[in-house]
Amino acid sequence: MENISDATRQFIDLRRHMWMENIEVDLRRLIWQIAVTGKYISSKIQESNRKLAGFENIYGEEQLALDRSSDEIIKRQLEFSGFVSHYASEERESIIQVGTGNEKYIVTADPLDGSSLVETNLAIGTIIGIHSESIMTGGDKSLVAAMYITYGPLITMIYSAGNGTHEFVLNREGEYVLSEEDITLEERGYIYSIGGLRRDWTREHLDYVRDLENEGYKLRYSGGFVPDLNQILIKKGGVFTYPALKNNPNGKLRLIFELQPMAFLTEQAGGMATDGRRRILSIQPETLDQRCPIYIGSTYEVEKAKTFLDGKTTTI
């Protein structure tokens, strides 16, 4: 699409933009439906009393009532929508059928990434993957679109259907309007966002971080994947990483629900996403809840990680 002026951008809503992008009609309707779902989740967040649900989710993590509510909101919106056959959520043990079973798409969700940040009033988000075939075949084969919604001072949505990565802002009238089209990462940035305890990092990863620090990178880490990656995309560069740890070589974040949708968006913005060696989108999941290390962001920082993890570079 041709460059859009600032004056014109504010009048392009999500539905018009997807039509201009010539996205297949059912996929357009599904993306719009999920974007609307974000409004309901946002309302639930605002009315939340921050009380814990009193139970744990399947991963043994303390779960806020808000996680469960967000998951149910998404499931209800997808049920018999006419577009979605199955739904898989980070909050559920297995994939569930939400349609007749013959619809075109399968949806994956991290319904509320960073929900533990609610009580501190930091930004959190929803991560969505839209697949045209089994989610167990791997992102390269199955993902046709991805999106995330950030609930912060502004409610924003970033989506891609394979033709660039675009940002929309929810305005006062309740419409998602175009904020930035074709977000493009620079070859390198100046910020890094990094998870895991320093004492648990491998020597190779520690050397990598020291090298970034020696180059003057600034630490920006909130503890939420959505707000931290969103910062890298909006700032046009940098790297987010949750690495393999000494006692946990698979890292923390989940391949299907978090990493592959975010990798899709990042690659569409000209960036990279790897586990330190392999492209995230090329990894075929072995289990629904599979976890994986992640280095995601600008090409310079992600390529640099590989040289350190391969043992080709060290710092003093």
Q: Which domain holds residue 112?
A: 6-180
113 part of a folded domain: yes
On whether residue 186 sits in a domain, the answer given is no
Q: What is the pLDDT of residue 3?
A: 55
Residues 229 and 174 in one domain: no
d(C-alpha 292, C-alpha 253), whole Å: 6
Task: Select from 233, 47, 52, 66 the least CA-distant residue to 147.
Answer: 233
Task: Retrieve residue 251's tokens.
Answer: 């890292």
Q: Hey, which residues does 245 pair with through a beta bridge?
A: 201, 248
Whether 173 and 295 map to the same domain: the answer is no
Higher pLDDT: 184 or 120? It is 184
Longest pairwise C-alpha distance within the chain: 60
Do 50 and 73 sit in the same domain of this protein? yes
pTM, two decimal places: 0.91
Spatial CA neighbour of 238 closest among 193, 181, 206:
193
**Same domain for 171 and 229:** no
Looking at residue 5, its pLDDT comes to 54
User: Residue 1 falls within a domain, yes or no?
Assistant: no
pLDDT digits (tens, 9 = 90+) for 20-56: 999 999 999 999 999 999 999 998 888 764 444 444 4
Q: Are residues 116 and 239 in the same domain?
A: no
The pLDDT value recorded for residue 45 is 84
Q: Is residue 185 part of a domain?
A: no
Both 200 and 120 in one domain: the answer is: no
Backbone angles phi, psi at 54, to 5 degrees: 85, 15
Q: Is 302's pLDDT higher than 80?
A: yes
The model's pLDDT over 125-135, given as tens digits with 9 standing for 90+, comes to 999 999 999 99
Report the interhelical angle of 65-78 vs 25-47 (nearest 10°).
150
Instruction: Give the DSSP letter of residue 167.
Output: E
Of the candidates 267, 270, 268, the one whose C-alpha atom is nearest the C-alpha of residue 280 is 267
Q: Percent of the chain, pLDDT > 70?
A: 90
**What is the three-state SS of 208-270?**
HHHHHHHCCCEECCCCCHHHHHHHHHHCCCCEEEECCECCECCCCCEHHHHHHHHHHHHHHCC
Low-confidence winner among 103-112, 171-180, 230-239, 307-316 (lowest mean pLDDT): 307-316
Q: How many domains does the chain have?
A: 2
| Cβ atoms of 115 and 96 closer than 8 Å | no
Last residue of a domain, one of 132, 158, 180: 180
When comparing pLDDT for 52 and 191, which is higher?
Answer: 191
314 occurs within a structural domain: no
pLDDT by residue (tens digit) across 84-113? 999 999 999 999 999 998 999 999 999 999
Q: Kindly state whether residues 285 and 139 are assigned to the same domain.
A: no
In a domain, 112, yes or no: yes
Q: How confident is the model at residue 80 (pLDDT cuts 50, 70, 90)?
A: confident
232 and 129 part of one domain? no
Work out the average pLDDT over 56-77. 73
275, 281, 287 from 292: Cα distances, Å: 7, 12, 11
Q: Residues 11, 160: one domain? A: yes
Q: Are residues 206 and 79 in the same domain?
A: no
Cα separation, 172 vs 174, in Å, equals 5
In a domain, 154, yes or no: yes
- With CA atoms as reference, report the closest residue to 105 among 75, 131, 80, 137: 131
pLDDT above 90: residue 11: no
Decide which of 180, 201, 224 is a domain's last residue.
Answer: 180
- We report the CATH number of the domain holding residue 56 as 3.30.540.10
Domain at 260, CATH number = 3.40.190.80
Residues 31 and 125 in one domain: yes
- pLDDT of 181 strictly over 80: yes
Is 296:280 a contact under the CB 8 Å cutoff?
A: yes
Please check whether residue 134 lies inside any domain of the structure. Answer: yes
Q: Is 12 helix (H, G, I), strand (E, B) or coil?
A: coil
Final residue before a domain boundary, out of 141, 158, 180: 180
Per DSSP, the three-state class of 293 is coil
Q: Do 152 and 83 fall within a single domain?
A: yes
More confident residue, 313 or 89: 89
